[in-house]
Structure 1
Amino acid sequence: MKLNRRAFIGTAAAAAGTFAAPLLVRADGHAKPRVVIVGGGAGGATAARYIAKDSNGEIDVTLIEPTRTYYTCFFSNLYLGGFRTMDSLGHSYGTLAAEYGINVVHDWATGVDRDAKTVTTAGGYTIPYDRLILSPGIDFVDGAVAGWDVSSQNAMPHAYKAGSQTELLRAQIEAMPQGGTYAMVAPPNPFRCPPGPYERISMVAHMLKENNPTAKILIADPKEKFSKQGLFEDGWSTHYAGMIERVGPDFGGDNVEVDPNAMTLSIDGEVTNVDVCNVIPAMKAGKIAEIAGITEGNWAPVNAADLSSKMDENIHILGDACAQGDMPKSGFSANSQAKVCANAVRGALTGSTVFPARFANTCWSLIDTNDGVKVGASYEATDEKIAKVDGFISEVGESADVRQATFEESVGWYDGITADMFG
């Protein structure tokens, strides 16, 4: 079935069917249970919308998100390649507030008191909750790339949080001298969107092929292999022959240092002058998860059935920030997890029916014009983790019609998921 906006939303609605439930009156006299959600991306916005919509006003929902316009990280590589505008990636929270009655607070969440069940914000607010959902996305591991920290992100952008960083990286690529070098420091596993860095390489190569055909692309990669590797490498040899060089760990890709002032990249001691350096460091759960005291290492472990924290049953973690098992960190995954979590939270607070947890993910990537590929799987909840049930991936050598259909499917999915998130 071709996945388009109507099909995506229809499937989501069927999976999250609702039943009327009695209103619960709390001991403190507050008539409605309260859900606070931190982070308004694919996980948080989806959870907020589904809880508000499916509870029919029986739950007070507050969404805390600092930005007024959310730019999706997924599809931002297509902006770098010239296939999307930045405006097409931006989405507001107006519909969530106006049509679903969600209290949208544009502020930074700065503290969680698990005993008092409150969230504090940079603006000085204290917001009580009965259930807290954290979907804060990613932060970067300090010292992950020698010579780089977030103070260097203007000289060497990460562009792994979409918006101004994405625009900066594109401007730097456009300003490269003819025959110049674009370098990427790829991240170690696990990280947001496993195919993302390699789709980005494809999109940068597409732009350079059109505007700077003698330019070179250098990848320093600490991983022995990466998502859709055969598909990407076949596509690179087909569309961008001689332009892209990847240095893996066997040749020093895991021993990297950068100098943002000198604009150099050192791989295993060999220094290269570069014109653009896209540093994507190792990642960890967004800071608020650590502040809440629910992380173990870099990520927040959860129970598969409802995405509840293994350290606090009243807190749930979605998307990139959680350690849940086999699912990759992606927008599709976060959206899928959010629906399961919303159903479970609503059931816990109002007594409504809770359905068995089922999850899905698909990650599309564009290699060149109309050359789309995908990988995906379905999952189920076990006592140990979210476990993969089955999967699929595009094949090397597919026809141009199949690849174009895959790309068009991805556009339909984008329209569908953003409508599912923001209403």
Structure 2
Amino acid sequence: MPSNRRRILGSALAALAAPSIVRAQAASAHIVVVGGGFGGGTAARYLRQLAPQAQVTLVEPAQRFYTCPFSNLYLAGLRSWESIGHHFDGLRKAGVRVVHERAEDVDAGQRTLTLSSGQVLRWDRLVLSPGIDLRWNALEGYDEAAAELAPHAWKAGSQTLLLRKQMEAMRNGGTFIMVIPDNPFRCPPGPYERAAMVAHYFKQHKPRSKILLLDAKQNFSKKALFLQGWKALYGDMIEWQGIAQDGQVVRVDAKTLEVETVFGARHKADVLNVIPPQKAGFIAERAGVTDASGWVPVKGENFESSKVADIHVVGDASFAGPMPKSGFAANNQGKLVAASIAAELLGQEPAAALFANTCYSLIGPGYGISVAGVYRAEEGRLVDAPHSVGISPLDANAAFRAAEARYGASWYAAISRDIWNR
């Protein structure tokens, strides 16, 4: 009997002590987040909210982060450049330590991250949200030097500014050619929204100009809606050629602004915008979490790397099945990863993984379209939730299109506050 009482008492004391032990473990934890964009910025902010005892360090080289979402509106003249730039003071006020350096290397065994200054950060959990890198020379002739003549503008920054300057300098009646890659790539509807925004700019300033889209695939996100909107607002200004129409480009000559397709057709541009094939950002490869595709396979329930324990990868770098590479998706993933890590640190059961994505595209002022989906984890992978995909109707009236345009602008304002507290 005394022995039983001792065992019962011991169990009771252990139960009482558990919360304080868990709190101590959480307080000693250091979570390092790489990348201050939609995925990483979100993860850092929500980790501070959900596990306030833990130390959270965000590593981001840019002092001011410019977003790819809404950069197309800058090209159109519908947004100022600074309106899509975000600083990190809000995250600092939330208790996140922000380090403006480049992440250079990861030692998963030692749990260290080496920065460009040589500083080494030790981590208990690592969250990577490095975005994309471009596959230079995946298209023959298209390397970093070529991008200075034929910009990709698929990372918001100097390339976006360069493309806008080239559009401004182009002659009225010139040809703008865009080269579009096969899936997967960052922001599936992005090239087609860009075509509309370039057309809007040309309609205002260079109305005799043409836009030729050379596409390595036959179908794309919201295709019917884009084709309808282009025709309604811009007439025949935009011409799209898919792979069946010999639209797949295999060779680029940036000096002459010429491209060549699979079957040998050559097209010459006045402005050439080449969006090349892509892969996960550099640090993901250094961490050993990429596979042969160049992307990062993750576990659907918590976006932990399928290859390396305690490293989570969110945003464009991850391969998440049907979930697209978008800012909305990255924000959702960052929140789920923060909740998952916080639950583990605090000894709690993690919430079930359920994700959503909505993608708004602007075809012209007052003319928006959208697509939405919901995804759930099932046996370690993400799948579409039943009956969860929604898309703008083709027969929508002008008021509906105007409302979609307002929703898109409101989404951008809301998500900017959510992440950077702008």
Check whether TM > 0.5. Answer: yes
Shift of 1:356: 1.1
Shift of 1:23: 4.5
Three-state SS of the structure 1 residue aligned to 2:375 is strand
* Separation of aligned partners in 2, 1:159 and 1:90: 15
* Separation of aligned partners in 1, 2:335 and 2:105: 25
Q: Alignment partner for residue 70 of structure 1, among 61, 65, 69?
A: 65
The answer for the alignment partner of 1:12 in structure 2 is: none
The answer for the alignment partner of 2:142 in structure 1 is: 148
The answer for the alignment partner of 2:116 in structure 1 is: 122
Q: How does 1:387-402 map to 2 (within 5 A)?
A: 387-389=383-385, 390-402=388-400
The answer for the alignment partner of 1:252 in structure 2 is: 246
The answer for the alignment partner of 2:347 in structure 1 is: 351
Q: How does 1:202-221 map to 2 (within 5 A)?
A: 202-221=196-215
Q: Alignment partner for residue 414 of structure 1, among 405, 408, 412?
A: 412
Q: Alignment partner for residue 379 of structure 1, among 371, 375, 382?
A: 375
Tell me if 1:197 matches 2:191: yes
The answer for the alignment partner of 2:285 in structure 1 is: 290
Structure 1 stretches of 5 or more lacking a match?
Answer: 1-19
The answer for the alignment partner of 1:112 in structure 2 is: 106
* Separation of aligned partners in 2, 1:49 and 1:40: 10
TM-score by length of 2: 0.92
Aligned length: 399
Q: Is the 8 A contact 2:360 2:371 kept in 1?
A: yes
Q: Alignment partner for residue 56 of structure 2, among 61, 64, 88?
A: 61
Shift of 1:394: 0.5
The answer for the alignment partner of 2:13 in structure 1 is: none
Q: Alignment partner for residue 276 of structure 2, among 252, 264, 281?
A: 281
Three-state SS of the structure 2 residue aligned to 1:343 is helix
Counterpart residue type for residue 115 of structure 1: G
* Separation of aligned partners in 2, 1:411 and 1:303: 32
Tell me if 1:318 matches 2:291: no
Q: Is the 8 A contact 1:181 1:217 kept in 2?
A: yes
* Separation of aligned partners in 2, 1:339 and 1:147: 40
Q: Alignment partner for residue 267 of structure 2, among 264, 268, 272?
A: 272
Shift of 1:361: 0.2
* Separation of aligned partners in 2, 1:388 and 1:251: 31
The answer for the alignment partner of 2:181 in structure 1 is: 187
* Separation of aligned partners in 1, 2:167 and 2:161: 10
Three-state SS of the structure 2 residue aligned to 1:192 is coil
Shift of 1:272: 2.4
For 1:150-200, what per-residue CA distance to the aligned partner results, in whole angstroms no more than 9, with x for missing partners? Answer: 222111111111122111111111111110010000011001111000000
Three-state SS of the structure 1 residue aligned to 2:28 is coil
* Separation of aligned partners in 1, 2:360 and 2:204: 23
Q: Is the 8 A contact 1:21 1:352 kept in 2?
A: no
* Separation of aligned partners in 2, 1:185 and 1:32: 49
Q: Is the 8 A contact 1:24 1:33 kept in 2?
A: no
Tell me if 1:92 matches 2:102: no
For 1:6-50, what per-residue CA distance to the aligned partner results, in whole angstroms no more than 9, with x for missing partners? Answer: xxxxxxxxxxxxxx9865446xxx951010001111000000000
For 1:136-161, what per-residue CA distance to the aligned partner results, in whole angstroms no more than 9, with x for missing partners? Answer: 00011232222111222111111111
The answer for the alignment partner of 2:361 in structure 1 is: 365
Q: Alignment partner for residue 160 of structure 1, among 154, 173, 177?
A: 154
Three-state SS of the structure 2 residue aligned to 1:257 is strand
* Separation of aligned partners in 1, 2:406 and 2:21: 44
Q: Pick 1 or 2: higher relative contact order, CA cutoff 8 A, min separation 6.
A: 1
The answer for the alignment partner of 1:4 in structure 2 is: none
* Separation of aligned partners in 2, 1:220 and 1:255: 7
Tell me if 1:340 matches 2:350: no
My pick for the range that moved more, 251-260 or 171-180, is 251-260
Shift of 1:54: 1.9
RMSD: 1.4
Counterpart residue type for residue 109 of structure 1: A
Shift of 1:116: 0.4
* Separation of aligned partners in 1, 2:133 and 2:381: 23
* Separation of aligned partners in 1, 2:72 and 2:398: 21
My pick for the range that moved more, 256-265 or 363-372, is 256-265
Percent identity, please: 44
* Separation of aligned partners in 2, 1:193 and 1:181: 24
Tell me if 1:82 matches 2:77: yes
TM-score by length of 1: 0.92
More helix by percentage: 2
Shift of 1:354: 2.1
Q: Is the 8 A contact 1:110 1:288 kept in 2?
A: yes
